[in-house]
Amino acid sequence: MGLKTNDLQPRIATEVLAGKKELLSGAHAEEIRDLLERRGVLVFPQIGFSDEEQMAFTESLGKLAPELAGENVYKVTLDTKENARSDYLKGSWYWHIDGTMNKVPILASILSSKVLSPTGGQTEFCNTYAAYDDLPDAEKREYEQLRVLHSAWNSLFYYDPEPSLGKLKEMMSIGDAELPLVWKHRSGRKSLVLGCTAYQVVNKNYRESCELLVKLREWATQPQFVYRHEWKVGDTVIWDNTGTMHRATPYDPACGRMLHRTKLEGEEAFA
């Protein structure tokens, strides 16, 4: 029997109604991956994975990608006692794709909710496949020829408009990347590559670049392309990092909000 599912929005996000044992068996792994690619975001309500179960579930879908420090489970929190580099996560309050500095970005992220924020702290996702599909044909042809410079340091200015030179250099050391504005996937589908790391369209001046990137961000984050997840403790959400952008809504850094993240290793380079 197939999975029981419920679409949460017409263009993005599906709730998967399955038990923990069923999911950890790996019996539905192929179906889950196919559904993820088609729907962008999958929600497993209050499944209550432990860290070990979350890792096992991740590995049932592909290869688990370790974090920068080598850990398999990353604590997504602004609590500096739990995450010494938590300030970096303030960039997650703005629309982005993970791994724009990498030739091969991660395939997907999996988040499990442990502690909620009293206010804010929802996670929003937008379908960048659908956003591309709905563009006028003339714009599609134009954008498919364009390339965009991305950097981690550009996202710094979103949450720290006047950083110290030391902080700026630290972020600049992560590097820059030149990426296509339209990702031509090996499946034949196409998606927009946008977000707060994007700062300059190649062969356009800064003003023209800003206008185009803001225009497309507004286009891609229209309500028909967006799903907002209201977390409950125990929820697990997985999203296709190659076909969505995401962001967290702002919350009090001292509130203790905590999500645990695992990642699926990337399988396809930007092209």
Q: Does residue 9 fall inside a structural domain?
A: yes
Q: In terms of pTM, does the model score above 0.85?
A: yes
**Backbone torsion region of residue 256, taken as left when φ is above 0, otherwise alpha when ψ lies between -120 and 50, otherwise beta:** left
Q: Does residue 269 fall inside a structural domain?
A: no
Q: How far apart are CA 264 and CA 271, in angstroms?
A: 19
> pLDDT tens digit string along 24-79?
999 999 999 999 999 999 999 999 999 999 999 999 999 999 988 899 999 999 88
Task: Choose between 92 and 89: higher pLDDT.
Answer: 92
Q: Does residue 271 fall inside a structural domain?
A: no
Q: Does residue 47 fall inside a structural domain?
A: yes
Of 37-41, 118-122, 234-238, 252-256, the least confident: 252-256
What is the edge-to-edge ordering of all strands in the sheet holding 123-127? 226-229, 123-127, 244-248
Q: Does residue 255 fall inside a structural domain?
A: yes
Q: Does residue 208 fall inside a structural domain?
A: yes
Q: How much is the average pLDDT of 239-259?
A: 95
**What pLDDT is recorded for position 186?**
95
Task: Choose between 91 and 113: higher pLDDT.
Answer: 113
Task: Round the average pLDDT of the chain to a whole number and report it.
Answer: 95
Residues 6+ apart with CB under 8 A from 256: 77, 79, 115, 117
For residue 209, pLDDT beyond 80? yes
**What pLDDT is recorded for position 2?**
82
**What pLDDT is recorded for position 134?**
98
Residue 1: pLDDT band (50, 70, 90) is low
Provide DSSP, 13-31. Answer: -EEEE--HHHHHTTTTHHH
**Number of domains the chain contains:** 1
Q: How far apart are CA 254 and CA 244, in angstroms?
A: 29
Q: Does residue 270 fall inside a structural domain?
A: no
Q: Which domain holds residue 31?
A: 4-264
Question: In the 8-state DSSP scheme, what is residue 3?
Answer: P
CATH number of the domain residue 106 falls in: 3.60.130.10
